Amino acid sequence: MTSSTARDTVAVATLPWIDDLASGIRRVLRRDLPPLTTARHVADLLGPLLGRPGLLTAEQEAGDPRSYRQHLLHACPDSGFSIVALVWLPGQHTAVHDHVCWCVAGVHQGVETEQTFRPMPGAGTGQAGQAGQTVQPGRLIPDRSVVNPTGALSALAPPGDIHRVGNTGPGKAISLHIYGADLSRLGSSIRRVYPDPTAAATTTTTTTTTTPEPHGES
């Protein structure tokens, strides 16, 4: 089993497309739009880059058998955003989590599976802890599960941003993420990690079927 916590690296080279994308993001941020609207406009900038050959260096495409890997491509402390490449080997996934900021994700290579969750009515999401800390919130309900192919985009903003992402395919998956926070300072976009609400159901299912439900991440 691989870890659901990312292993981090910082990119050693800045590519021209990163500078161009960062300039476009700054223009969006200067409009001072609501977080989700900001994320959607930033997604429009990222979309044309997805799947482009040679976009990343070999180092930026490198995975890690111990966990999915986070490559910090660009961080802008002044404007407060970061560009990240996440690399997933088969079977790697995030914990169930939410975020400290708006975020955009686009599948650059391979296929990713995303499971979203929502709080049970009246349950809330508990108290906020330190970034990345596991908390015991009210119960979550699985909302929807989608398979995102190369080129797929998503835009999220708190509070509707609780999800789990992973690679359930046979090959490497790479996604590009843009976060409205300086990850060179924070280290991660994850605000809270939640207990997996599907774990008990999965355990029960494996007693009556021969194939357990597979587990799949900015």
- Annotated binding-site residues for Fe cation read 97, 99, 163
How far is 79 from 206, CA to CA, in rounded Å? Answer: 48
Angle, in degrees to the nearest 10, between helices 16-29 and 35-46: 150
Tokens linked to 67: 């966990």
Per-state percent for the chain, helix, strand, coil, to nearest 5? 20, 35, 45
> Cα–chain-centroid distance for residue 100?
12
Count of other CB atoms within 10 angstroms of residue 75: 21
Tokens linked to 198: 């599907």
Which residues 6+ apart lie within 8 Å of 27 measured at CB? none
- Annotated binding-site residues read 97, 99, 163
